[in-house]
Structure 1
Amino acid sequence: MQGMWWQAPAHAVNETAQAAAATRQHNLTKPTGALGDLEGIAIRLAGLQGRECPLLSRPWISIFAADHGLAAAGLSAYPQAVTAQMVANFAHGGAAICVLAKQIQAGFEVIDVGVAGDTSHLPNVIQAKIGLGTANLLEHPAMSMDALHAALEVGQAAVRRAQANKADCFIGGEMGIGNTSSASALGAVLINCEVAELVGPGSGLDPAGVIRKAGLLSSALQLHASRLASPASMLATLGGFEIAALTGAYIAASQAGIPVLVDGFISTVAALAACKMNPSITPWLLFGHQSAEPAHVRLLFELDGQPLLKLGLRLGEGSGAATAFPLLQLACALHSQMATFAQAGVSNRDV
């Protein structure tokens, strides 16, 4: 078995800096709490960055792409070939996340961690392929434990590249036809609920398709019941290579002291798996939005996650997190640039 690096504790939160930031917020020229959640975000980021006035200016986006064997069962509204086609779209700058990455001036990379096709001819696609997609989890475990370890390390390597580029916020995205099905099954066992409670339309299934998906995934969970003894075995049995890579990235970013901005439903399942595998990372996870996937709100509740936005997004790719990133920047700017009562010569009601 490979090293269990993902069990090492997350970087410590600086409580002194966090307390100083809370004091500063109390002394800014506004009623306490008047800026709502923006105040808490700034205080929280101060603790993560270890300074009274946090600053975010170098976001990093890693998109992990992989295929799923269960796509053969027709659980997505799109054919499996779309995964490789979308990787090409990422590579050529045509996807929504590419536009958002440019807009927020983020470092951006695409990683083939298991696409069922050759992407080596595409520009700027990192080759980290573990296999040509996972096995069909409706019949077999999705991946071996060795493959799981390799996928986690793909996520860790992405964070190392982010560190080398002095990133101060990590956003992970995913692409993989069938991955809402995989994420629904994984999420259900991680929170111990019926899979039907988490199954939704994904990329556009009709109501009959959603019912069929729930039935097939429920049967799969019964088939694999003996293999689901730990969060890691759950991830190996039911996850995708891209979901596992996201999980590894979230853990590694937290260990490196880089705040994480989590995207939608699939990314939140990866975040849940990461927290189950290493609970110390929880303070490092912020949540960009509540997606239109019906079960996302349930997963956010399980993680005590407060989403920054609720815009009805359901694209994935890290798009919701990238859309929310400017709110983090605004929270920092307000916190650091507003005058205190003393600086402005304004009477504080506490005086």
Structure 2
Amino acid sequence: MNLLQQTMERIQGLDQEMVGKARERVDSLIKPPHSLGKLEELAVQLAGISGELYPEFDRKAIIVMAADHGVYEEGISSNPQEVTYAQTMFIAKGITGVGVLAKTAGAEVVTVDIGVKGDFPNDAGVIGRKIRQGAGNIATGPAMTIEEAIRSLETGIAIAEAEIQKGANLLGTGEMGIGNTTPSTAILSVLGNIPSEEITGKGAGVGSGGISHKAQVIKKAIETNRPDKDNAIDVLAKVGGLEIGGMAGVMIGAAANRVPVVLDGYISTIAALIAVSIEPKVKHYLIASHASAEPGGKKASELLGIQPVLHMEMCLGEGSGAALAFPLVDAACRIMKEMATFSEVGLKI
């Protein structure tokens, strides 16, 4: 808890003086007012985060947290649970969706085993930070202890800070874990006070019982564990997942170092809800990449209060949406630095 508490105490809000200067410059660029839409808001946010009018984010890294879930035992997924292990290996090799998209964005992919069932070879390229061999079955008991939940958050903080110390100045969050839309939806149901039936989707492939069975499993998990919606760590421990805690920790760690974080889709957004519930100022450092195709995706974004910049009908996960949105961060920086203002070209508007 010491690392979590100390990190939270370091988080500050945006540099409001720089926000004002950035807003003034954006509004004076040679274009119709607000014609660059969300790109203008992003440029202002990045200036406020960095404290620089012309920031540059040339060292990008996507941190992929991987873990399994005991709730798989309830038949909520059509995919073999072993896919988590295999896909984590493939992510580390750079041959999955996030690997390919990260290459196009000039980003590194950092793969972390925070709770995958099974152990990886030393040469797999996977960072070993396993807290336990998968979360518990939330339909019959808690996903983890409070201590393990805090460890998952602190693991994310430590990984983020290690990457920042190596030079990363823009992070993305990603995950791998068969069945993890189930705990994600449970968290959303609790924090948003939304019936599970309204926000449960098929995830990467729903089990033979269909979406209605999955929604009932989520409802049962909440009734069994009775998480306290006003205590995000309690919610994470009782109905969450290790990779969700890990991603939330990445966001907290990045915010403490004034580094922006690009969220992936649904599960990353749920992790953001945990992070922001723990420390509201984390929200200033978050950028939502794409609108997830999951039914709970829109509700999660609304609850977080950050609208995605892309609508691609994607639901891959892994951090793929973050990689796809990285060039938009570059574009926002370039319009600030390279577009002229009306006064600079001698026009009075």
The alignment's TM-score, normalised by the length of structure 2, stands at 0.95
What's the CA shift for 1:208? 5.1
Matched, 1:300 2:301: yes
Aligned to 1:79: 80
Contact 1:227-1:237 at 8 Å conserved across structures: no
Name the counterpart of 1:88: 89
Structure 1 residue aligned with 2:348:
348
Query: Aligned-pair distance for 1:237?
Result: 0.6
| CA distance in 2: counterparts of 1:321 and 1:107, whole angstroms | 12
Cα contact 1:11–1:256 (8 A) shared by 2: no
Quote the offset at 1:14 in angstroms: 0.8
Displacement of 1:107 after TM fit? 2.5
**SS state at 1:167 partner:** coil
**Structure 2 counterpart of 1:93, which letter?**
G
Aligned with 1:154: secondary structure? helix
**AA partner of residue 12 (structure 2):** H
SS at match of 1:183: helix
The corresponding residue for 2:52 is 51
Counterpart check, 1:160 vs 2:156: no
SS at match of 1:342: coil
Consecutive unaligned residues of structure 1, counting only runs of 5 or more, are: none
1:55-92 per-residue CA deviation (whole Å, 9 max, x = no partner) reads: 22211111110000011112112111000000111122
With over 3 angstroms needed to count, the CA separation of the structure-2 counterparts of 1:136 and 1:2, relative to structure 1, is farther
Deviation at 1:234, TM superposition (A): 0.6
1:108 alignment partner in structure 2: 109
Change (3 A) 1:155 1:311: same
Q: Deviations over 1:175-214 (max 9, x none)?
A: 0011000100011111122122221110122795111000
Q: 1:245, 1:82 → 2: CA distance? A: 20
8 Å CA contact 1:80, 1:177 repeated in 2: yes
Q: Distance in 1 between matches of 2:107 and 2:227?
A: 43
* Range moving further from structure 2, 314-323 or 162-171: 162-171
Partner of 2:247: 246
Corresponding position: 1:149 with 2:159: no
Equivalent residue of 2:221, what SS?
helix
- Cα deviation code 1:277-329 (max 9, x no counterpart): 11121111110010111110111111111211000000000101110111111
1:98-133 per-residue CA deviation (whole Å, 9 max, x = no partner) reads: 111211111221010111011134422101011110
Q: How many residues of Structure 1 are paired with residues of Structure 2 in the alignment?
A: 348
Give the partner amino acid of 2:318.
E
Q: Relative to 1, partners in 2 of residues 1:2 and 1:47: Cα closer, same or farther, differing over 3 Å?
A: closer
The one-letter code of the counterpart of 1:268 is: T
- The one-letter amino acid paired with 1:40 is E
- Work out whether 1:18 is the aligned partner of 2:19: yes
CA distance in structure 2 between the partners assigned to 1:338 and 1:153 by the alignment: 41
Q: Judge conservation of contact 2:255–2:282 (CA < 8 Å) in 1.
A: yes
Describe the shift of the 1:226–1:15 C-alpha distance in structure 2 as closer, same or farther (beyond 3 A). closer
Q: How does 1:320-335 map to 2 (within 5 A)?
A: 320-335=321-336
Contact 1:228 1:237 in 2 (8 A): no
SS at match of 2:205: coil
Preserved CA contact (<8 Å) 1:91 1:122: no
- The match for 2:181 is 180
Worse-matched range after superposition: 132-141 or 121-130: 121-130
Q: Which runs of 4+ in 1 moved over 3 A?
A: 1-4, 226-229
Give the partner amino acid of 2:301. L
**Residues 1:212 and 1:259: Cα distance change in structure 2 (over 3 Å):** same
Measured after TM superposition, the shift of residue 266 of structure 1 is: 0.6
Tell me how far apart the structure 2 counterparts of residues 40 and 4 of structure 1 sit (CA, whole Å).
30
Q: Is the 8 A contact 1:71 1:79 kept in 2?
A: no
Structure 1, residues 196-236: CA drift from partner, whole Å, max 9, x if none? 22211101227951110001111121111266662111100
State the distance in 1 between where 2:59 and 2:341 align: 27
Q: Which amino acid aligns with 2:111?
A: V
Cα distance in 1 for partners of 2:235, 2:165 equals 32
Q: How far, CA to CA, are the matches of 2:123 and 2:226 in structure 1?
A: 40
SS in 2 for 1:8: helix
User: SS of the counterpart of 1:60?
Assistant: strand
Say which SS state the counterpart of residue 344 (structure 1) adopts.
coil
* TM-score, length-scaled by structure 1: 0.95
Contact 1:156 1:252 survives alignment (8 Å)? yes
Provide structure 2 residue ranges, at least 5 long, that are not aligned to the other structure: none
The one-letter code matched in structure 2 to 1:248 is G
CA 86–142 in structure 1, closer or farther in 2 if over 3 Å, else same: same
State the 1:31 CA deviation: 1.6
Identity %: 36
Residue matched to 1:211: 212
SS of residue matched to 2:58:
coil
The one-letter amino acid paired with 1:84 is: Y
| Equivalent AA in structure 2 for residue 112 of structure 1 | D
CA–CA distance in structure 2, aligned partners of residues 206 and 163 of structure 1:
40
For residue 341 of structure 1, give the secondary structure of its aligned residue in structure 2. Answer: coil
Q: Aligned residue for 2:310?
A: 309
